[in-house]
Amino acid sequence: MTEHASKALSSDRPHVPKSPDNPPVVVFQDVTKHFAAPGGGVFTAIERVSFTVEDIPGRGEFISILGPSGCGKSTILRILAGLKPSFPATAGTVTVKGQPVLAPGPDRGMVFQSYSSYPCYTVLENVALGLRLKGMEREEREEIARHWIRRVRLAGSEHKYPHELSGGMQQRVAIARTLAVEPRIILMDEPFGALDRITRWEMQDLIVELWSNIHATVFLITHDIPEAVHLGDRIFIMSPSPGRLIEEIHIGPPTGPAAEVQRTADFTALANEISRKVEKAG
């Protein structure tokens, strides 16, 4: 087993100099979202949610969001992405690099739990789709798409269709498509929820590898506490509906391969501690 440092709860975070030229990547300020409830009335998904994610030089930050089903985790991501019906927020402000979020944009990419490739397109065409929508010429977009297909270890599958791929391979396509347009923020909504444990570990390692190279800010929704602890620099714990952000926990970046780290006694103890906090919040 390779040597690695143990994660631990900490109040320490990387120092980010305050500067008008380097505004935070994301700011939620007192964000509330109401939906029309079936049969009339109003359902409050999230209430007065506030947090700041700074632009940490040379690395970005990985935020894991935990909480019971229905607490508004996906609503937070969809507001940030600018996706209806969650967007716009009912109250409060949301900014990305100091600018209000007004619509979806190429600076924010989303990976969903459901396999989101277009069945009539090949792997190459799916990965190049965002670049095509940006108006990029075919030769250039296919060159970039092939680069990301190699990065997610799908070389040789360029001309396969989604139905010919395993679940893990389909999620690799979705990740490559998202990263091909070079988003500043990556939003992941239970992306590995349908995968077996071994494949999840492989995907976690892949995300860490790619994240360490692109220096993006990543938001991850997951019900898998070990996954949240392993990947997260910081963990947000949400209350039951209406969702409120009730605790932020800094634990630092991943310290080694998922399969090794998550089998250690230290990691298990930390995951259990986070689990107790989530249970208490519920």
Q: Is residue 15 part of a domain?
A: no
Contact residues for 186 (Cβ-Cβ < 8 A; gap 6+): 108, 109, 110, 111, 178, 179, 211, 216, 217, 218, 219
The last residue of a domain, from among 182, 200, 215: 182
Whether this prediction's pTM lies above 0.75 is answered by yes
For 201, phi then psi, to 5°, come to -60, -45
Q: Are residues 208 and 237 in the same domain?
A: yes
Q: Are residues 37 and 152 in the same domain?
A: no
Q: Is residue 156 part of a domain?
A: yes
Q: Are residues 271 and 239 in the same domain?
A: yes
The sheet carrying 62-66 orders its strands as 108-111, 185-189, 217-221, 62-66, 234-238, 245-250
Q: Are residues 95 and 211 in the same domain?
A: yes
Q: Are residues 91 and 122 in the same domain?
A: no
The last residue of a domain, from among 134, 164, 182: 182
pLDDT at 252: 87
pLDDT at 215: 85
> Which mean pLDDT values do the consecutive 10-residue runs of the chain (282 residues) have?
56 60 92 90 95 87 94 96 94 96 93 82 95 94 96 94 92 92 93 88 91 89 95 95 94 91 94 93 78
Q: How many domains does the chain have?
A: 2
89 by Cβ neighbours in 10 Å (0-12 / 13-18 / 19+) ranks as: buried
Domain around 164:
117-182
Q: Are residues 197 and 60 in the same domain?
A: yes
Q: Is residue 191 part of a domain?
A: yes
